[in-house]
Amino acid sequence: MFNKIVQSLCGGLNRREARRRRATRTGSAVLRLRSLRSLRSGAGLFLFIGIWLLTSCTLPSDMPATPADFVLVTDAPTQMPSPTAFSPQTATPSLTPTPTPSPTLTATAQPTLVNGGRTQYILETALDYDTKTLAVKERIQYTNHSSDALTSLMLAVDPNRWSGCFNLQITTVNGHTVTPNIESMRMEIPLETPLVPNETVIIEMAYSLNIPVKQPKQVFGYDGNWQINLVNWYPFIAPYDAEDGWLLHSPSGVGEHLVYEIADFDVIFNVSAEEDVVVAASASTEPQGNTYRYQLEGARTFVFSISSAFSTETVSSENGDVTSFYFPNYAKPGEAILNAGARALEIYSRRYAPYPHEHLSIVQTYLPDGMEYDGLIFMGTNFYDEYDGTLKNNLIALGVHEISHQWFFGLVGSDQALEPWLDESLALYSERIFYEETPPYPVTWWWQWRVNWFKPSGWVDRTIYTDADFRNYTNATYLRGALFLEELRQRVGEEAFNNFLQDYVATYTDKIATGNDFFATLDQHTNVDYSDIVDEYFLNR
């Protein structure tokens, strides 16, 4: 199966070719599965897994303290004020689970380089929706693009932050069985011989997940019997930097800690369920009997949300298809965020760069805020509850914020732990750009409601480890970041600012940009002195 997938992946359309064909596509990311009991008796994809570990994972108890709620006043008396941009998503690392019996993997095919040698993730999965268990067979093709010879590879294993969740059966490197060193969310795989520059290696592994109960401020996990969210669910290779080594940071009380390289994904997804379920994913689907295959090129993550309660609605355009996944009795806000999402794709595709994928999923979940992944964003149910029929609310403002991360996170990557302003400041300012182009153009309202009310302070260039106060973090990184970009725009002028943003996205598409890259690109578009603005907002420039 892996060899066939690789051959198909190598011969597939690239993203830009696929975008030109988008108008003729009729498929969406919606997958309705009706009682796939045959999976348990006849599919046969995962005979290597053995006995499921059916006990639920437990979330570590020493979670960071939850920030206090804030009661705000807006200039629109019928609306709820804007909360923090996101709530912290973190859990304390757990001990390595006890290994289960090791199955045998098939012989490894020789690597075939595609897309400039981008890392390829090929995943065959089987989800039992009722028992909340996932079986996975994963193949990673990785090329060393650094100037160093690598003696080992470092992978992020985020599910291992929950006790008993990640259960590894076997790992091979180029067909030879190895024993990784797993410590909390880090998996180090030793290499028999160093991986020299431009050399490629193939890693294969089999494992299962006991999906944990979803906590209120977490995305990953299951929520009762009506939703399972699979995010950061597979081991992935951390970016490697010649100076700093592997970019794999520990969780913090605020912000996101993971750094992702660009990669290609080919995912086989099987679902067994006693009732109808709907699947939202980072890409659209192509059915092969009871097996559903997703292909996504040039992305940093691949995620799912599966629910027995979803309703869906889709809007198609030349910028990409958008599907809204929402719960019963939320049709009106579900349609509103769908239309706002399609509008945001049009604006950001024109202002920054064409949307890089064919499809975007907008998924309702029980979460205080929103969260972005490639091709899919999550929005909290409380935003749907607050929706008042206008543009002036959290559902729209934070929704288009999350969508802008398809550019500032997805297309242009960054170190979210050490330089979170690079994506969050630009994402918050993208809300302003959305409102300045969308009638009735409530930009003044937005500044008061989303930024000025908080009287934000703090250095924009803080890390997620500067302190654990989430209000201070958002005030500095998000809100002060937006104020910095506004002053910068006024100083250098509209044409230079817009050209700079487009050049920045074009130059660092599929890369991991730094603050130095940001300012170096800006300097190519203006001779105006803006050093006093930088001094006002940045500590270390």
CATH number for position 44: 2.60.40.1730
Residue 101 resides in a domain? yes
CA-based nearest residue to 209, from 424, 57, 14, 401: 57
Residue 1: pLDDT over 80: no
Q: Is 378 helix (H, G, I), strand (E, B) or coil?
A: strand
Burial class (CB in 10 A: 0-12, 13-18, 19+), 299: buried
- Residue scoring higher pLDDT (211 or 276): 211
Backbone angles phi, psi at 100, to 5 degrees: -105, 170
What is the pLDDT at residue 39?
37
Tokens, residue 225 = 């019997």
What is the pLDDT at residue 115?
75
Residue 46 resides in a domain? yes
Q: Which domain covers residue 394, as residue numbers?
A: 2-107+115-436
What is the pLDDT at residue 541?
82
Query: What is the greatest pairwise CA distance in the chain?
Result: 69
**pLDDT tens digits, one per residue of 69-120:** 222 222 233 333 333 332 333 332 232 333 333 344 444 455 666 677 899 9
What is the pLDDT at residue 307?
97
- Residue scoring higher pLDDT (491 or 288): 491
Residue 308 resides in a domain? yes
Which alpha helices (H) appear in 24-89, and where do they start and end? 38
Contact 89, 219 (CB under 8 A): yes
What is the pLDDT at residue 437?
98
Residue 161 resides in a domain? yes
**pLDDT tens digits, one per residue of 330-382:** 999 999 999 999 999 999 999 999 999 999 999 999 999 999 999 999 999 99
Buried-exposed string 330-349: b where 16+ CB fall within 10 A, e elsewhere: beebbebbbebbbbbbbbbb
271-275, 515-519, 531-535: lowest mean pLDDT where?
271-275
CA distance linking residue 503 with residue 509, whole number of Å: 10
Residue 182 resides in a domain? yes
24-38, 67-81, 195-209: lowest mean pLDDT where?
67-81
What is the pLDDT at residue 73?
25
Question: Per-residue confidence at 422, pLDDT binned at 50, 70, 90?
Answer: very high
Residue 491 resides in a domain? no
Which DSSP state fits 373? Answer: E
Backbone angles phi, psi at 267, to 5 degrees: -125, 125
Question: Per-residue confidence at 19, pLDDT binned at 50, 70, 90?
Answer: very low
Q: How many domains does the chain have?
A: 1
Contact 91, 59 (CB under 8 A): yes
Tell me whether strands 512-513 and 413-414 are parallel, antiparallel or unpaired.
Answer: parallel
Residue 228 resides in a domain? yes
DSSP string, 420-458: THHHHHHHHHHHHHHHHTSTT--HHHHIIIIIGGG---S
307, β-bridge pairs: 278
Angle at 303 between CA 214 and CA 136, to 5 degrees: 90
Contact 30, 312 (CB under 8 A): yes
CB-based contacts of 273, cutoff 8 Å, min separation 6: 33, 35, 36, 129, 130, 308
CA-based nearest residue to 224, from 209, 214, 216, 232: 214
**pLDDT tens digits, one per residue of 293-302:** 999 999 999 9
What is the pLDDT at residue 284?
87
Tokens, residue 381 = 């149910």
CA-based nearest residue to 395, from 438, 436, 441, 364: 364
Neighbours of 72 (CB within 10 A): 12
Tell me whether strands 263-272 and 236-237 are parallel, antiparallel or unpaired.
Answer: unpaired
Residue 259: pLDDT over 90: yes
DSSP string, 151-208: EEEEEE-GGGGSBTTEEEEEEEETTEEE--EEETTEEEEEEEEEE-TT-EEEEEEEEE
Residue 258 resides in a domain? yes
CA distance linking residue 513 with residue 182, whole number of Å: 29
394-404 and 331-351 helices cross at what angle (nearest 10)? 40
494-508 and 515-523 helices cross at what angle (nearest 10)? 130
CA-based nearest residue to 375, from 234, 281, 471: 281
Average pLDDT over residues 166-181: 98
- Residue scoring higher pLDDT (429 or 12): 429
CB-based contacts of 134, cutoff 8 Å, min separation 6: 125, 126, 127, 128, 208, 209, 211, 230, 233
230, β-bridge pairs: 304
**pTM of the predicted model as reported, rounded to 2 decimal places:** 0.84
pLDDT, the chain, mean: 84
Question: Per-residue confidence at 292, pLDDT binned at 50, 70, 90?
Answer: confident
CA distance linking residue 209 with residue 134, whole number of Å: 5
Provide, rounded to the nearest whole percent, the portion of the chain with pLDDT above 90: 75
Buried-exposed string 30-49: b where 16+ CB fall within 10 A, e elsewhere: bbebeebeebeeebebbebb
87-91, 141-145, 229-233: lowest mean pLDDT where?
87-91
